[in-house]
């Protein structure tokens, strides 16, 4: 997708004006980094480092983000619930427009997927999501283009919303900088060194100093860890591709829900007057400036044409983003045991945007070595559940 509207270059702080030392140096200015920097600001001196020319360039700027309460592991769904209040009613002046707009989600099953659909409905309900079983006829009232010979059963989740990713990202950046966060873009980290209880981090010809480094580098988190002498955690970097096509001729698709194959073989959602589509691929790749391959987009088109009565004659644009997971698909938030002053904030996978309000507060509390905020603890989140040390065990 490239950058969302409104996400663009943000002027970086000159190194000469950087306060020394910082309390926290956050590496990576995607959604994780900017939200954690914002959560730490005010009571701490925070530097935010970004290799690219502006914040949100990679995964955060290429997300078809939905707020989906049933999406992800138990830990991620709990963080999603804990983020709902902020996203539905953000603080005054945080954003000029609403962060969420109701969309709804329709889950489809053909005759060979009925067991998967029933199992998924039960799992969604255990996660606290509201979900309704639908007949094929009821599903076609929501999406009239569904093929009669494809849909055997369906489910509908009403409390799914589109997220204004640009407004959320810029809100964290503005609020964080107003509280003193210093953002450095176009940075290239030299080899850091731990000296007298602080990290000394070369940035070109200059150097900044901080007591704690927070690794929020997304797909590059293992590489950043290695730079600081930390053993990588074996993060999996997976490419997810998407494209925009026209909807069925003469059909207004703006009011359609998001549509998911129950086994995640494809999904689609309205994108202005068109449709955003994806084969929901998870292709292992090295960290990179990702792009969509033609064959992958052709696969998405084929799967969607099998489910919907739609003729795809043109792909208007395509792109890809990187989703980074721990091997157990839960987040990694906490201090590294073996190396001083190094804190992980990684492994958000495809859930980092919808969980960012709560995840950033959780990370800030753990980085300060303070109790988890009550609203997050009330959802059952513990420090142990997100501790990176779990991946160090045999």
pLDDT for residue 364: 98
pLDDT for residue 394: 60
Residues 6 or more apart whose CB falls under 8 angstroms from that of 167 comprise 6, 95, 96, 97, 99
Distance CA 253, CA 243 (A): 16
Tokens of 78: 């709990």
Give SS3 for 325: strand
Residue pair 322/218 in contact (Cβ under 8 Å)? The answer is yes
Q: What is the 3-state secondary structure (H, E, C) of 74-129?
A: HHHHHHHHHHHHHHHCCCCCCCCCCCEEECCEEEEECHHHHHHHHHHHHHHHHCCC
Distance CA 383, CA 315 (A): 45
Nearest to 50 by CA among 31, 22, 70, 64: 31
pLDDT for residue 166: 93
pLDDT for residue 62: 62
**Half-sphere exposure at residue 323, Cβ-oriented, CA atoms within 13 angstroms:** 21
pLDDT for residue 170: 95
- Exposure string of 35-59, with b = 16+ CB inside 10 Å and e = fewer, is bbbbbbbeebbbbbbbbbebbbbbb
CA distances from 128 to 68, 259, 286, 356 (A): 11, 20, 35, 19
CA distances from 373 to 40, 332, 337, 376 (A): 13, 18, 23, 6
For the chain, which domains are there?
15-63+165-233+328-392 (3.50.50.60), 105-158+236-325 (3.30.9.10)
**Half-sphere exposure at residue 185, Cβ-oriented, CA atoms within 13 angstroms:** 15
Nearest to 263 by CA among 48, 43, 111: 111
On whether the pTM is more than 0.95, the answer is: no
Please name the helix (run of DSSP H) or strand (run of DSSP E) that holds residue 162, with its range, or none: strand 161-163
Q: What is the 3-state secondary structure (H, E, C) of 185-239?
A: CCCCECCCEEECCEEEEEECCEEEEEEEEEECCHHHHHHHHHHCCCCCCCCEEEE
For the chain, the residue count is: 394
For β-strands 22-27 and 46-49, DSSP reports them as parallel
Which residues are 199's β-sheet partners?
194, 210
pLDDT for residue 393: 72
For every residue of 234-260, DSSP letters joined together read -PEEEEEEEEEEE-STT---TTPPEEE
Residue with tokens 């730079």: 227
Is the sign of the CA dihedral 54, 59, 62, 68 positive or negative? negative
Residue with tokens 């644009």: 317
Task: Spell out the per-residue pLDDT of the chain, length 394, in tens.
Answer: 232 333 333 334 444 344 458 999 999 999 999 999 999 998 899 999 999 878 867 655 567 789 999 989 999 999 999 999 999 999 999 999 999 999 999 999 999 999 999 999 999 998 888 999 999 999 999 999 999 999 999 999 999 999 999 999 999 999 999 999 999 998 989 999 999 999 999 998 889 999 999 999 999 999 999 999 999 999 999 999 999 999 999 999 999 999 999 999 999 999 989 999 999 999 999 999 999 999 999 999 999 999 999 999 999 999 999 999 999 999 999 999 999 999 999 999 999 999 999 999 999 999 999 999 999 999 999 999 999 999 987 6
Residue pair 49/71 in contact (Cβ under 8 Å)? The answer is no
Residue with tokens 């990679």: 58
């Amino acid at each position: 997708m490239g950058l969302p509207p409104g996400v663009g270059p943000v002027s970086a702080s000159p190194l000469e004006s950087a306060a020394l030392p910082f309390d926290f140096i956050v590496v990576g200015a995607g959604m994780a980094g900017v939200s954690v920097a914002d959560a730490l600001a005010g009571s701490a001196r925070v530097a935010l480092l970004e290799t690219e020319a502006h914040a949100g360039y990679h995964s955060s700027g290429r997300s078809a983000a939905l707020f989906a309460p049933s999406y992800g592991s138990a830990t991620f769904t709990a963080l999603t619930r804990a983020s709902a209040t902020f996203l539905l009613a953000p603080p005054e002046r945080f954003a000029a427009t609403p962060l969420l707009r109701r969309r709804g989600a329709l889950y489809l099953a053909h005759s060979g997927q009925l067991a998967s659909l029933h199992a998924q409905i039960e799992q969604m309900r255990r996660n606290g999501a509201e979900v309704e079983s639908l007949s094929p006829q009821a599903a076609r009232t929501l999406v009239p283009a569904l093929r009669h010979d494809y849909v055997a059963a369906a489910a509908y989740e009403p409390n799914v919303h589109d997220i204004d990713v640009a407004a959320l990202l810029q809100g964290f950046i503005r609020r964080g900088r107003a509280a003193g966060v210093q953002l450095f873009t176009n940075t290239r980290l030299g080899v850091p060194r731990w000296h007298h209880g602080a990290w000394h981090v070369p940035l070109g010809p200059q150097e900044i100093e901080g007591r704690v480094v927070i690794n929020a580098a997304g797909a590059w988190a293992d590489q950043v860890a290695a730079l600081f002498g930390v053993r990588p955690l074996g993060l999996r970097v997976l490419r997810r591709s998407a494209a925009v096509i026209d909807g069925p001729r003469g059909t207004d698709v703006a009011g359609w829900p998001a549509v998911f194959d129950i086994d995640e073989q494809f999904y689609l959602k309205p994108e202005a007057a068109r449709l955003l589509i994806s084969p929901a691929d998870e292709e292992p790749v090295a960290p990179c400036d990702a792009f969509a391959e033609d064959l992958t987009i052709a696969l998405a088109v084929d799967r969607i044409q099998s489910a919907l009565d739609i003729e795809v004659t043109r792909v208007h644009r395509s792109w890809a983003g990187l989703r980074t997971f721990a091997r157990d698909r839960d987040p990694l938030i906490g201090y590294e045991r073996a190396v001083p002053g190094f804190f992980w904030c990684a492994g958000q996978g495809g859930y980092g945007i919808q969980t960012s309000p709560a995840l950033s507060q959780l990370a800030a509390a753990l980085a300060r070595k303070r109790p988890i905020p009550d609203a997050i603890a009330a959802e059952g989140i513990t420090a142990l559940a997100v501790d990176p040390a779990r991946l160090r065990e045999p």
